[in-house]
């Protein structure tokens, strides 16, 4: 794939993410209570917005090749939704699960003081996102500058009544992580 074509695909993928997670009104569509959008309405809305061209083959390629597996189709490929990361109130039918004993959260150095003071909170999202391995957390943290990794004592959180969910693309979600369950990881992030 040419570099220019890859850039266009990435830009379109980011635009889809904006629509399905935060602002469906950008292209004049609505999501149902479970975050599903009509595929044809999504394609038509994107094409009418200017700056992007999308057809069904292109959409299927974006969903299939997205390394984070952000999106899911229904069985008939007539509906699509983001798997998690919403800032709008939708119920993506997350399955409550018992988490592993330890999960990880990657962030940038600039957020450390805030996290050390108030724990992990979802801010504009519905949930705090946690990773099942250090490398994924490091990648996430790198998007915010020099990465800092937190180790979360999920075993104790779960015993204390906190609920955890695993999204379709295997991101762990919870409503908050209080400071007492956090420990800055000694895993090297350089």
**Residues facing residue 152 across a β-bridge:** 103, 182
Confidence category of residue 181, pLDDT binned at 50, 70, 90: very high
- What are the tens digits of pLDDT across the range 65-90? 988 889 999 999 999 999 988 999 99
- What are the tens digits of pLDDT across the range 24-40? 999 999 999 999 999 99
Angle at 26 between CA 13 and CA 10, to 5 degrees: 10
| Under 8 Å between Cβ of 147 and 108 | yes
CA atoms within 13 A on the CB side of 55: 1
Structure tokens at 82: 């983001």
Nearest C-alpha neighbor of 161 from the set 181, 183, 143: 181
Q: Is the pTM of this model over 0.75?
A: no
Structure tokens at 5: 């074509």
- Which strands form 71-73's sheet, in the order they lie side by side? 37-38, 79-82, 71-73
- Identify the helix (H) or strand (E) that includes residue 72: strand 71-73
| Under 8 Å between Cβ of 117 and 164 | no
Ordered domains of the chain (ranges, CATH) = 3-82 (1.10.10.970), 95-184 (3.20.170.30)
Phi, psi of 149 (to 5 degrees): -110, 135
- What are the tens digits of pLDDT across the range 98-140? 999 999 999 999 999 999 999 999 988 889 999 999 999 999 9
Helix axes 3-21, 39-49, angle to 10 degrees: 120
3-state secondary structure of 25: helix
Helix residue spans in 30-111 (DSSP H): 39-49, 56-65
Count of C-beta atoms within a 10 Å radius of residue 95: 9
How many Å apart are CA 81 and CA 150, to the nearest integer?
29
């Amino acid at each position: 794939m040419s570099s220019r074509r890859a850039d266009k695909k990435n830009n379109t993928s980011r635009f889809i993410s904006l629509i399905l997670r935060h602002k469906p009104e950008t292209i004049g569509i609505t999501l149902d209570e479970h975050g599903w959008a009509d595929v044809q309405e999504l394609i038509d809305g994107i094409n009418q917005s200017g700056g992007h061209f999308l057809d069904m083959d292109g959409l299927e390629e974006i969903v299939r090749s997205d390394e984070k597996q952000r999106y899911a189709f229904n069985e008939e490929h007539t509906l699509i939704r983001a798997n998690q990361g919403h800032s709008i109130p939708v119920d993506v039918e997350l399955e409550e699960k018992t988490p592993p004993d330890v999960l990880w959260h990657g962030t940038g150095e600039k957020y450390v003081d805030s996290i050390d003071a108030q724990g992990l909170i979802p801010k504009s999202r519905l949930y705090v996102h946690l990773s099942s391995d250090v490398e994924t957390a490091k990648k996430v943290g790198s998007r915010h500058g020099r990465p800092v990794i937190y180790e979360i004592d999920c075993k104790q959180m779960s015993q204390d009544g906190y609920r955890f969910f695993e999204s379709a693309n295997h991101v762990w979600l919870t409503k908050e992580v209080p400071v007492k369950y956090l420990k800055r990881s000694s895993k090297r992030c350089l």
